[in-house]
Structure 1
């Protein structure tokens, strides 16, 4: 290679390769399920075939479990990356401990626990699913994909739906028939793949619905439009139905959360705000412990505005002008003396998602423990 000498004495050429910025990933689930492993640490999978390298079936378990099929369904439907945490048993305490330990995982924003459905009765299933929702609400940066009961009774499904009230999860029915397995399996793994596929092709603000499911040959029940309306009442938690359409295959035909609040009833809207909070923690962490002064407020307002504008340009926010799509406020009004004495910096952000017709407001509060979204 030719050595280029500088023409100006005392001046040298240094070729600096910029360090690429870390990417904020979305559509990355953590799967919890019955399996045995060499250690209890989460395993990172980028191929479905890696599951057998790390895990094996627990000897003497009541069933082979659903974990392996759920992960296969994830990758078959567009998933690219997931983490797997092996559970020694299917108890509530074991699940809670594993959820807490998984908080150290970065770049994960979804939770799937298909083997919850192996619990002995519906009440136990509800308790464990509630624990998953509570975990997602506590960490604030994950969304739960839950499985409906494997029943033919729509009234029983409606009962399960009414047991939940959370902005941080969605419920899916019915169960799926896949090849090389005699029974039906919970849909969460396949749906997680749909989420990942939708994030890749359209962005986290796109609705993960009306996408044909792969690796599915039948449904446990066929829900009618009338039954779907019963399971998706207005301003109440809903169940997203998977339905079969002639000539179009089997598709996720719903995008509702388990929230009773109208502004949080859509999965893509809730996940957009979760991603906003993850972005803030990912990109503004270096502002923690800085002096709570005008210069910090200006910086936060500028960086948040740039990110909000990028969301608007992607089509995540409505409005023909930026001020119709978002606003950012970080000044003396949002940071009165009492807040500064508490060591907090507060930025007020309003976003107008493409589905609801009004601003949804959130507060970013910076403290020594990080940035939280309220």
Structure 2
């Protein structure tokens, strides 16, 4: 207060308690990809990170699902056909650009997802997925402090796998070098293939191409998932070239009794003609009732669209675990929702190299267990050889502690660099860490075992530091690590009675 010059009573209030540190949000992913629209009223959201909290908001600002198009090319002799109809042997092949962000968002919210950011880098009119566009989308997150995860689930849809790896290394660089307050969740390119596939080992290739920088800020999952996101009602004859579909159905018609052929032919001939919504729906239901091959085509199409990379599902699981158990709980031994099966079944022996490879680039497995369902069965970062940053929850807990204390300490910038400030700062950090310890976020039977805070002249600072305006604080924390391997010893003993 100012100098007292007028006689009277003056009130002086003194703070009895130090400032408090507020725990930052830990589960706010940022998704980068293509959407139907990107608009908020009359304002474009293209290449602008935009926060949403539900699928309803995604529909409002970014639109709905793409309309995938498929072809039915005939296969040559010796090739494995997806469908056989009389003399025709065909496969179902997607001809449109594989935009999957919409389906991935359904998986995210279906597995416990909450608030997130969307960066739309283009619409469904794009002729292909662009690696440069995805990288530009990553760069837009530089000014956003809230996101704690970065995902580009459509990167695996790039035609050139080398471009996919370039996007993923850019994600790691963004998380571990530019920001250092978020992690990247990566997908294995062609992760629906078995590691013994004749075209090559997809996991080995991922490890070789991902580089060796900032691996502790990334995690990866294998294999892809056969989901139940796309249903029968989402598909119809509109997803196919009408002439090709007609030719296939005409082949099936030849096997029908002659007296029924005219009625069925009448339905087939409607394909490619102009119809309103009710007529299209009626024709689709009629074809499903009278044509087994049509049902087979739709089933195969649904299987292709439902084969999704697991990163968005994992972001949802991270969010759910953070909200129910805390960021210090490893996001593993958790069931994955809306999943029918993993694209590849993995045994214990096959997981050994995924989990503990010589390179340290651990790939977390998603496995099916009899009677338990589909579970995430790994909790390691890509830096598996590091004792400090081997586990995902350790890295994410440390990010949370660092950001929370950093934000709270900003209140002391330009305060006098003296003992009173040091005590206040130390008390604030100790109170915050004590609260985390009580909730199970730090290891130790007592607070003294779980953490310690050091600040002061002769402890963390020299006289030169004070002259230069530097206040140094050292915080030591014992982070909770998961019980990844549980050993139970059995031994026989002598009969006692």
TM range (shorter): 0.7 to 0.9
| Residue range with higher mean Cα deviation, 245-254 or 287-296 | 287-296
- Partner residue of 1:147? 187
1:6-62 Cα distance to aligned partner (Å, 9 max, x none): xxxxxxxxxxxxxxx977322110111122413222222221132222224789995
C-alpha contact 1:161 1:239 (8 A) present in aligned 2: no
- Partner residue of 2:57? 50
1:231-268 Cα distance to aligned partner (Å, 9 max, x none): 11167120011101111110110000011312101000
- Partner residue of 1:206? 329
Say whether residues 1:353 and 2:485 are aligned partners: no
Distance, in Å, in 2 between the alignment partners of 1:341 and 1:230 is 53
TM-score by length of 2: 0.64
C-alpha contact 1:164 1:258 (8 A) present in aligned 2: no
Say whether residues 1:157 and 2:203 are aligned partners: yes
Say whether residues 1:248 and 2:248 are aligned partners: no
Say whether residues 1:335 and 2:369 are aligned partners: no
- Partner residue of 2:303? 182
Match of 1:76 among 103, 110, 126: 110
C-alpha contact 1:43 1:54 (8 A) present in aligned 2: no
1:161-182 Cα distance to aligned partner (Å, 9 max, x none): 3434411110011111222143
Distance, in Å, in 1 between the alignment partners of 2:187 and 2:58 is 21
Q: Give the CA RMSD over aligned residues.
A: 2.5
C-alpha contact 1:74 1:192 (8 A) present in aligned 2: yes
Distance, in Å, in 2 between the alignment partners of 1:233 and 1:324 is 30
1:277-317 Cα distance to aligned partner (Å, 9 max, x none): 12123322222222322222222211111111112111111
Distance 1:164 1:153, change over 3 A: farther
Report the 3-state secondary structure (helix = DSSP H, G, I; strand = E; otherwise coil) of the residue aligned with 1:205.
Answer: coil
- Structure 2 matches for 1:269-284, cutoff 5 A? 269-284=394-409
- Structure 2 matches for 1:92-241, cutoff 5 A? 92-137=131-176, 138-151=178-191, 152-154=193-195, 155-162=201-208, 163-165=210-212, 166-179=215-228, 180=230, 181-183=302-304, 184-233=307-356, 236-241=360-365
Distance, in Å, in 1 between the alignment partners of 2:51 and 2:117 is 5
| Residue range with higher mean Cα deviation, 194-203 or 214-223 | 214-223
Structure number with greater Rg is: 2
Distance, in Å, in 1 between the alignment partners of 2:155 and 2:219 is 15
- Partner residue of 1:37? 38
